[in-house]
């Protein structure tokens, strides 16, 4: 039982971070219909940039982290402006593959600037473990969960209350109508990319403060895909609910299945979930079921 | 099928022929002669590049059938190549299959695995399918890494060189002939496949799958067929790769490679026979050029960051994919046909 609550708490908290990264994906998908497959690489590059700011340049945390956020905003703007904007109106295949090109580019950039494969961030959170019931959880996980929840609440308020958020939802709903109302749709696309990059950056910082910076962060980004698939591509709520489910399945399943199967089974549980969801319920838990016409 | 003026067809066979004029045949002859005398004047290093190009062309042609013709984006192609590679290695190593039987079986096994992961394509498309093929990639590589008793796991696996009729193909040159003959057969068959009912059904599905279904194309059958053929060719390429390198490990088949194959067919030109060939030549020669040039640049400019040599390759490749998508979405194949048209119309 101790074991179980240990796995469960770790799983749910890590799942929160997955959900955070996944929200960035949903944001772009909803507003512009672009599937951002560069998610993993974005998480990687922002983690390394954090490393560059905090360790290599030696900035204090209060200066370094805002710089990372600024950098993320810039990267999001650049990607949208240079790679996505020229392709507006192109078939979905081009829109997906252009993000693959971006992913490749970022991967090259990362190994060009930071040739070493592993690094650790300085400690951002206090390190004495907390006792939750009988389980022992390191504080980093709980902080990650808390920060994720705060961001969810902020984002939800933003989309419900703020003018910009409402416009973004409107663009997701009907681009043509919004354009007719005089909203510059392309600007919204660029905003959503900037937002998504910030979310990826926060997710990257949280993940790498837990596990260090490795190439595995790309896979963390990919696990966010299993969150969006399970939750439904166009649903914020779906991402928030599915994130902890994926984290839970990964950690609890990994914990109990490893003795039965091969080691490292937790690495592929999210991908197995993707395949299962595809077979049973392709539009996910909360996604909109699309009805097509010729 | 643009032809010079004054060429007419008097029979259906003439109309459907791939090579129509004497000039076509002469060019084909020159090309084949150059290709098959290649080992005489290419050094061993370039010969191995040529072999890699041949193997990549086969794999890219498979992906082109699946993605370029049938419109089902697959980002797990390297995984299916891995299935073929390991299947062939295991069959020839453990069960003593002759190489050619192993080759065909490898294709079949990869095709079947591809079909399993292609089943979701009946209900989902676009991004969903891309994700489920990514899942396929990770699951396949994970199984290979952990099924140690069969695949050797992380330690990898030694593969004997291909042998046909008791002749062992050890040298690069002998492998070159084997690979190139298979490349020619594959490209020829693919070209004919895409002109047949099957190929036109694929194109119809790509352009609008609902309309295709209404017109009487069995989506279930044809999508799975596309997955089978695409992954069959991936398996063939994997088998050749296994016997060419002589040593397999899952690191040869990463998701990066899968993306590389998508990039290859985009740069070459989706849905054309010649596209994968151009794309492969472009990418593999670019990679080779970078490995030759990057150390020189690094030596000349010592202030460059330390990861320059490893990082510059993916950066250039990513940039090439983005630029091709924006500036020339129809790829090098389109440039090629423009070139041919202007050559035909010359001097006008």
Closest residue of B to A223, CA-based?
B135
* B45-345 CATH, one of 1.10.3470, 1.20.120, 1.20.1070, 1.10.286: 1.10.3470
Q: Where are the domains of chain A?
A: 2-152+184-280
Cβ neighbours of B314 in A, within 8 Å: 104-105, 107-108, 111
* pLDDT tens by residue, B83-118: 999 999 999 888 888 888 889 999 999 999 999 988
Closest Cβ–Cβ partner in A108, A222, A271 for B311:
A108
Residue B322 sits at the chain A interface (C-beta within 8 Å): yes
Do A264 and B142 lie within an 8 Å CB cutoff?
Answer: yes
Distance from CA of A190 to the nearest CA of B (A): 18
Task: Report chain A's mean pLDDT, rounded to a whole number.
Answer: 85
* pLDDT tens by residue, A130-170: 777 777 777 888 888 888 889 888 888 888 888 888 888 88
Angstrom distance (rounded) from CA B75 to CA A139? 37
Cβ neighbours of B124 in A, within 8 Å: 278, 282
HSE, side-chain direction, 13 A CA sphere, residue A49: 27
pLDDT of residue B6: 77
Residue A260 sits at the chain B interface (C-beta within 8 Å): no
Closest Cβ–Cβ partner in A111, A268, A275 for B310:
A111
Q: Where are the domains of chain B?
A: 45-345
Angstrom distance (rounded) from CA B185 to CA B193? 12
Are the C-beta atoms of A44 and A221 separated by less than 8 Å?
A: yes
Distance from CA of A244 to the nearest CA of B (A): 19
Q: How does residue A291 score in pLDDT terms, banded at 50, 70 and 90?
A: low
Are the C-beta atoms of A232 and A287 separated by less than 8 Å?
A: yes
Closest Cβ–Cβ partner in B135, B147, B329 for A274:
B135
Distance from CA of A211 to the nearest CA of B (A): 21
pLDDT of residue A294: 57
Do A96 and B135 lie within an 8 Å CB cutoff?
Answer: no
Query: Phi/psi at B70 (nearest 5 deg)?
Result: -95, -10
CB contacts < 8 A, A to B, total: 158
Under CATH, which architecture does the A2-152+184-280 domain have?
Orthogonal Bundle (1.10)
Angle at A285 between CA A42 and CA A88, to 5 degrees: 45
Residue A213 β-bridge partners: A119
Residue B259 sits at the chain A interface (C-beta within 8 Å): yes
What share of chain A has pLDDT > 70, as a percent? 97
| Between residues A258 and B253, the one the model is more confident about | B253
Do B139 and A272 lie within an 8 Å CB cutoff?
Answer: yes
Among A88-97, A261-270, B288-297, top mean pLDDT goes to: B288-297
Give the C-alpha distances (Å, rounded to integers) separating A162 from A155, A174, B5. 10, 19, 66
- 3-state DSSP: chain A helix, strand, coil percent, rounded to 5? 75, 5, 25
Residue A275 sits at the chain B interface (C-beta within 8 Å): yes
Do B314 and A35 lie within an 8 Å CB cutoff?
Answer: no
The ipTM, to two decimals, is 0.87
End-to-end CA distance of chain B: 20
Q: Helix or strand or coil: residue A36?
A: coil
> Which residues 48-107 of A are in CB contact (within 8 Å) with B?
82-83, 86-87, 90, 92-94, 96-98, 100-107
Cβ neighbours of B270 in A, within 8 Å: 93
> Which residues 328-347 of B are in CB contact (within 8 Å) with A?
329
pLDDT of residue B35: 87
Per-residue pLDDT at A191 exceeds 70:
yes
Closest residue of A to B146, CA-based?
A262
Q: How does residue A112 score in pLDDT terms, banded at 50, 70 and 90?
A: confident
Residue (of A242, A197, A208, A185) closest to A99 by Cα position: A197
Task: Calculate mean pLDDT across residues A179-207.
Answer: 90
Closest residue of A to B140, CA-based?
A268
Per-residue pLDDT at A292 exceeds 70:
no
Q: Any idea which of A25-29, A286-290, B330-334 has the lowest mean pLDDT?
A: A286-290
Give the DSSP per-residue string, B233-296. HHHHHHHHHHHHHSEE-GGGS-HHHHHHHHHHHHHH-TT-SSHHHHHHHHHHHHHHHHHHHHHH
Closest residue of A to B321, CA-based?
A101
pLDDT of residue A28: 87
- How would you class A78 by CB atoms within 10 Å of its CB: exposed for 0-12, middle for 13-18, buried for 19 or more? middle
Per-residue pLDDT at A252 exceeds 90:
no
Angstrom distance (rounded) from CA A74 to CA A82? 12
Closest residue of B to A271, CA-based?
B135
pLDDT of residue A293: 63
Give the DSSP per-residue string, B18-44. S--SHHHHHHHHHHHHHHHTHHHHS-H
The per-residue pLDDT string of chain B (348 residues; one tens digit each, 9 = 90 and over) reads 467 777 788 888 888 888 888 888 999 999 999 888 888 888 778 888 999 999 999 999 999 999 999 988 899 999 999 999 999 999 988 888 888 888 999 999 999 999 998 888 877 777 788 888 989 999 999 888 888 777 877 888 888 887 787 777 778 888 888 999 999 999 999 999 999 999 999 999 998 888 999 999 999 899 999 999 999 999 999 999 998 988 888 888 988 899 999 999 999 988 899 999 999 999 999 989 988 888 888 788 877 777 777 888 889 999 999 999 999 888 899 999 999 888 888 777
pLDDT of residue A225: 87
Do A105 and B210 lie within an 8 Å CB cutoff?
Answer: no
């Amino acid at each position: 039982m101790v074991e179980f609550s240990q796995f469960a708490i770790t799983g749910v908290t890590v799942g929160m971070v997955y959900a955070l990264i996944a929200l960035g994906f949903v944001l772009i998908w909803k507003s512009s219909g672009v599937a951002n497959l560069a998610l993993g690489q974005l998480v990687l590059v922002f983690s390394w940039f954090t490393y560059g700011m905090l360790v290599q340049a030696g900035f204090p945390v209060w200066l370094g982290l805002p710089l990372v956020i600024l950098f993320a905003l810039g990267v999001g703007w650049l990607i949208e402006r240079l790679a996505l904007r020229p392709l507006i109106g192109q078939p979905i295949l081009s829109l997906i593959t252009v993000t693959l090109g971006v992913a490749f580019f970022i991967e090259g950039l990362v190994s060009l600037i930071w040739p070493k494969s592993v690094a650790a961030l300085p400690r951002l959170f206090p390190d004495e473990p907390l006792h939750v019931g009988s389980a022992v959880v390191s504080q980093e996980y709980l902080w990650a969960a808390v920060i994720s929840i705060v961001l969810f609440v902020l984002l939800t308020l933003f989309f419900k209350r703020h003018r910009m958020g409402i416009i973004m939802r409107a663009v997701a709903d009907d681009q043509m109508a919004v354009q007719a109302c005089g909203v510059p749709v392309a600007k919204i696309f660029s905003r959503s990319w900037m937002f998504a990059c910030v979310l990826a950056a926060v997710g990257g910082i949280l993940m790498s403060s837990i596990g260090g910076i490795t190439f595995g962060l790309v896979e963390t980004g990919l696990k966010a895909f299993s969150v969006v698939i399970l939750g439904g591509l166009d649903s914020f709520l779906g991402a928030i609910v599915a994130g902890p489910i994926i984290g839970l399945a990964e950690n609890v399943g990994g914990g109990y299945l490893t003795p039965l199967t091969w080691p490292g089974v937790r690495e592929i549980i999210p991908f197995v979930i993707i395949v299962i969801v595809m077979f049973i319920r392709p539009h996910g838990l909360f996604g909109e079921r699309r009805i097509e016409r010729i | 099928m643009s032809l010079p003026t004054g060429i007419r067809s008097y029979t259906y066979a003439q109309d459907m022929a791939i090579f129509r004029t004497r000039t076509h045949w002469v060019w084909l002859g020159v090309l084949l002669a150059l290709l098959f005398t290649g080992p005489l004047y290419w050094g061993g290093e370039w010969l191995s590049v040529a072999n890699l190009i041949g193997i990549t062309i086969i794999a890219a042609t498979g992906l082109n059938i699946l993605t370029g013709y049938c419109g089902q984006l697959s980002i797990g192609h390297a995984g299916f190549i891995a299935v073929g590679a390991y299947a062939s290695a295991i069959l020839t190593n453990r069960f003593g299959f002759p190489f050619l039987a192993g080759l065909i079986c490898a294709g079949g096994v990869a095709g079947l695995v591809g079909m399993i992961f292609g089943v979701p394509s009946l209900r989902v498309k676009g991004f969903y399918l891309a994700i489920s093929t990514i899942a396929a990639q990770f699951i396949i590589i994970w199984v290979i890494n952990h099924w140690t008793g069969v695949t050797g796991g992380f330690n990898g696996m030694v593969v004997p060189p291909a042998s046909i009729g008791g002749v062992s193909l050890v040298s690069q040159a002998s492998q070159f002939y084997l690979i190139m003959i298979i490349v020619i057969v594959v490209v020829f068959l693919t070209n004919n496949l895409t002109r047949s009912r099957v190929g036109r059904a694929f194109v119809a599905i790509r352009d609008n799958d609902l309309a295709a279904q209404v017109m009487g194309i069995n989506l279930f059958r044809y999508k799975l067929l596309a997955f089978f053929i695409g992954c069959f060719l991936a398996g063939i390429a994997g088998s050749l790769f296994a016997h060419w390198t002589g040593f397999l490990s899952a690191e040869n088949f990463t998701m990066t490679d899968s993306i590389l194959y998508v990039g290859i067919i985009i740069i070459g030109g989706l849905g054309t026979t010649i596209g994968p060939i151009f794309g492969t030549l472009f990418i593999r020669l670019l990679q080779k050029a970078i490995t030759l040039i990057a150390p020189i640049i690094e030596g000349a400019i010592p202030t460059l960051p330390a990861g320059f040599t490893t990082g510059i390759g993916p950066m250039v490749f990513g940039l090439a994919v983005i630029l091709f998508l924006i500036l020339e979405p129809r790829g090098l194949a389109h440039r090629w046909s423009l070139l041919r048209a202007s050559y035909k119309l010359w001097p006008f």
